[in-house]
Every structure is written in structure tokens, then in C-alpha cells.
Amino acid sequence: MLCAYLRMPYSPDDPKFDPAERQVRTTAQTAIGARLRPDHPGFWPDARIDLTDARLIGLDFSGITVGEFRADHARFDDDAKFGGATFNTRAWFRGASFSRDAGFDQTTFHGDTWFHGATFKGNIRFSGARFHGDAEFGEARFRRDHPPVWPVWPEAFAEPAGLVWVDPDPDPPAAPPNGP
């Protein structure tokens, strides 16, 4: 039910959304993350998490253990933290958009993992990550000034082909002056 709530449309810039909506969403994210950590008394060890098309704000899923994870076309506002996470089956991040830094340090992917078409606008880290299945990064977009950190290609991992390197976003245009 919490995942379904997070998949509902939300735009913080749209005046039709109550400003308290942000707090409700971050609380739902925190509740999900807590239940995915093995030290929680209500741990969900084989959870199937579906955050397809979700708008996620400052997501901290570091140290989680999850069965199956789907975040296709999700929008990660602020930093996204997955350091030390364990994905026990498949993980999908196809077409996901990371607006700031994304950390997957020491993360273990036991099944196939897809980042096909994902966009990374900040730093991305996979330091010490382990991929035990196929990892697909085709058409993933990285900014030239924020390359991924790959200290060593993990065992059974082919160097990503089809990555797209884009120049940083130009400075936004200045706002027009008020009045004549």
C-alpha cells in the first residue's frame, strides 16, 4: 500500500499539492526502508517492492535487503542512497532519473540488474558493488563532469556498452525583470 501511494502523481511545484504532501511521502519512504532492514523486528525479508514511476525524495535505502526491486521510470529527487543494500533477485531502474548523487557503494545485486536508459545528473558511485547476474547500462546517461566511480570491474561484469555522456545542463536563463 505504501508503494502504491508513492506511485501516485506528485509534483512539488504544482500548487494543487498540499505542502504537507512532501512530509507524508518521505515518511512512507522511511517506513518502507525500515522494514527492509534486517535489524527491524517487522523485517520483510522477501519483499517485492514496486516503485515504478514513483517520485522519491531524498531516498535512503542504505543497508536494505529486498527480494525484488522495481523502480522503472522513478524520479529520485535529492540524493539516493543504496549503499550496502542487497538485492536478492532482480532490480530494475530502467529509465529512472537521479537528480543528484546516487550511491550504490558496497551494494550486492544477486540477480539481473537493469539501468537501461537511466539518467544520472550527479555523482554515481558503485565502489565495491557486486553484480552476480547480468548488469545492463545501455543508453544510460551520465554527465561528463560526474563520471561513475568504478574502482574495479566486479567479477562476471562486462564493461558497460552504450553509455551516453552528456554535457552539464547550461545555466538556466535569468528570470525576466518584474514590471516595465
The pLDDT score that the predictor gives to residue 107 is: 93
Report the alpha-carbon distance of residue 174 to residue 48 in Å, rounded.
45
Whether the full predicted model's pTM is greater than 0.85, yes or no, is no
Report the alpha-carbon distance of residue 46 to residue 73 in Å, rounded.
23
Q: Along the chain (180 residues), what's the average pLDDT of each consecutive run of 10 residues?
A: 88 82 91 95 93 95 96 95 95 95 91 92 85 86 66 49 58 46
The pLDDT score that the predictor gives to residue 113 is: 93
The secondary structure of 105-125 as a DSSP string is: TT-EE-S-EE-TT-EE-S-EE
Q: Where are the domains of the chain?
A: 2-166
What radius of gyration do the chain's Cα atoms show? 17
Name the burial class of residue 151, with classes exposed (0-12), middle (13-18) and buried (19+) by CB atoms within 10 angstroms of its CB. exposed
Report the alpha-carbon distance of residue 65 to residue 87 in Å, rounded.
6
The pLDDT score that the predictor gives to residue 35 is: 95
Report the alpha-carbon distance of residue 149 to residue 104 in Å, rounded.
10
The pLDDT score that the predictor gives to residue 157 is: 52
